[in-house]
Structure 1
Amino acid sequence: MKLITVPYADRLRKHIDATVAFALQEDLEDIGDVTAALIPEDQMASAHIIIREDAVFCGRAWLDTVFKQLDDRVTVQWKCGDGDTLTANSVVCELTGPARSLLTGERTALNFVQTLSGTATLARRYAEAARPHHVTVLDTRKTLPGLRLAQKYAVFVGGCQNHRLGLYDTYLIKENHIAAAGGISAAIQRAQDLRSTQLIVVEVETFAEYQEAVEAGADRIMLDELSESDLQKVIAQGGDIPLESSGNFDLEKVELAKTPYVSVGSLTKHVRAVDYSMRFLNDN
């Protein structure tokens, strides 16, 4: 599998194998591709995949895995890699192998590539909008069910950064945790007692909550839609604890963030698929 290096690469490779197997099972069940069976079993074919709009490509390992799991006689010759900016009507890759297998894998492969390319393309736009303002854009857990690591990877490919991968790798103490734990200080103290290597991130909504989080020893503080006056107080106070903004940031608003980090749920939640198509070639 050809992947851009991420800290969770080993976990991601297992995730790819599992999600591809699940996606193929959705299509094939225990019967198989009845339409592809109309083609002679020994018929070989070549095809290419074309991108129909300008976009950032992502999903090479997913496409490779689809055809590897279906039929190891299929070969893929790549013309691009994850993170490449492609222009409309460019050839992404060429495939050769049994016609049945190419037909069976077509939609599953394109479903992964179109979704991950859409995520990477949107992430690239955010990264470019934030760069002049020295802001790092983070994703969230608002991902497509079952495709968490895939979309996190696509965000990274697009040039933004990953927040926590799941509930296990960071303490993210939000308003409901604060209410249930009996306050910000109590929640942070409990996290400090329990954690191994996890960061402790606390979401605050007022300057008073910010001060409490600082005094209790949070590792990072998330400012959730603070009033302008409270935000100015936080900025004026300074300090060494990294700050993150959250709450309804979009491409137009990301430049308004006054913190080093801003988390944006729409990176993975509002993704629009990129248009790809596969076309058979008349050389077999």
Structure 2
Amino acid sequence: MILDQDVGTELQTFVVRGLKEDVGDGDHTSRACVPEDQRSKAHLLVKENCVLSGMEVAKEMIRFVDEKADIQTVMKDGELAKSGEVAMYVTMNTRALLKIERLLLNTVQRMCGISTMSRKYANAVEDFDVKILDTRKTTPQMRFLEKEAVRIGGCTNYRSGLYDRIMIKDNHIDAAGSMRNALHAVHDYLKKKNLNLLITVEVRSFSELNEAIVVGGFQRIMLDNFSVTEMREAVSQIDGRYEVEASGGITYSDLVPVARTGVDFISVGALTHGVKAVDLSLKILEA
């Protein structure tokens, strides 16, 4: 993860909020038990097989609480780590270590879980010309980290939020009265605001698909909860005129059958909302 200025600022804000939640007016246990100037060596231990993610984030978190910390990275983001391997060593102020420990572990464990699942999903369709996309089904305030973990795992980020792509979904269509009305409203809005945003239309049926194609003026069609047979028929009907995305409760076992239909993208919310955190620990070796 290359922490450019915007991401670096976002991470700092995340750390400040996380520490406020966890530390409050002080870590009184550590203040009672640990001398203020004590330094300790610790390691970040991997306790189950995973694809590592969040190593750069961990380093930034450590430096946030102790600028003089000596960090030795043993493994990098994207590497396959086995249970029992050490990903990082750090020598730093002991109170600062105990202060950042839980926030660091909570964050990195979740990122590793996401990158591990993403690698599994990406590998499943490596023989097909299709990309696995993430969604907006992310943990509030952690989207930038969770989407980074998706990239590290080998899948592809979709839109970052509501602001960087037009996505006309079922609720928009129902609120506008029809697919035709929604598309015309979007075209008028983009022209009025002088915005150049890509457009995805979600279709729930072949009638909506046909209506969207008649109006046109978009880049991607999202097939929502279509069966594999229906996907194959829709891809044939679209015939390369638009990008095609499959969406709607797609599981790992669905990936290959869906990829075989010829869709260009498969969006999977489970990459971020259905993961189990990987077990890691940050343990003091020498005090």
Q: Give yes or no for TM over 0.5.
A: yes
Alpha-carbon shift at residue 230 of structure 1 (Å): 4.0
For residues 228 and 35 of structure 2, what CA distance do their matches in structure 1 show? 68
Alpha-carbon shift at residue 56 of structure 1 (Å): 0.7
Alpha-carbon shift at residue 128 of structure 1 (Å): 0.4
Equivalences for residues 114-125 of structure 1 within 5 A: 114-125=109-120
Alpha-carbon shift at residue 152 of structure 1 (Å): 0.9
**Which residue does 1:231 correspond to in 2?**
231
Equivalences for residues 63-212 of structure 1 within 5 A: 63-195=58-190, 196-212=195-211
Equivalences for residues 232-247 of structure 1 within 5 A: 232-237=232-237, 238-247=239-248
For residues 252 and 132 of structure 1, what CA distance do their matches in structure 2 show? 15
For residues 14 and 166 of structure 2, what CA distance do their matches in structure 1 show? 27
TM normalised by structure 2 equals 0.91
Letter in 2 for 1:33: D
TM normalised by structure 1 equals 0.92
Residue 44 of structure 1: which of 39, 51, 59 is its match?
39
Alpha-carbon shift at residue 97 of structure 1 (Å): 1.5
Alpha-carbon shift at residue 188 of structure 1 (Å): 1.4
Count of aligned positions: 277
Deviation string for 1:23-65 (max 9, x for gaps)? Answer: 1111111x21111111111222111111011101111232122
Runs of 4+ in 1 over 6 A off after TM superposition: none
Instruction: Please tell me whether residue 276 in structure 1 is matched to residue 277 in structure 2.
Output: no
Deviation string for 1:70-106 (max 9, x for gaps)? Answer: 1212221111221111111111111111111112211
Alpha-carbon shift at residue 268 of structure 1 (Å): 0.4
For residues 5 and 204 of structure 2, what CA distance do their matches in structure 1 show? 37
Q: Which stretch of the first structure deviates more once superposed, 88-97 or 219-228? A: 219-228
Alpha-carbon shift at residue 202 of structure 1 (Å): 0.6
**Aligned residues with identical type, % of pairs:** 36
For residues 106 and 144 of structure 2, what CA distance do their matches in structure 1 show? 16
Q: CA RMSD in A?
A: 1.6
* Structure 1: stretches of 5+ with no match in the other structure: none
Deviation string for 1:113-138 (max 9, x for gaps)? Answer: 10101111110000001212322100
**Which residue does 1:219 correspond to in 2?**
219
For residues 232 and 109 of structure 1, what CA distance do their matches in structure 2 show? 45
Letter in 2 for 1:275: D
For residues 4 and 105 of structure 1, what CA distance do their matches in structure 2 show? 21
Alpha-carbon shift at residue 228 of structure 1 (Å): 5.5
Instruction: Please tell me whether residue 35 in structure 1 is matched to residue 34 in structure 2.
Output: no
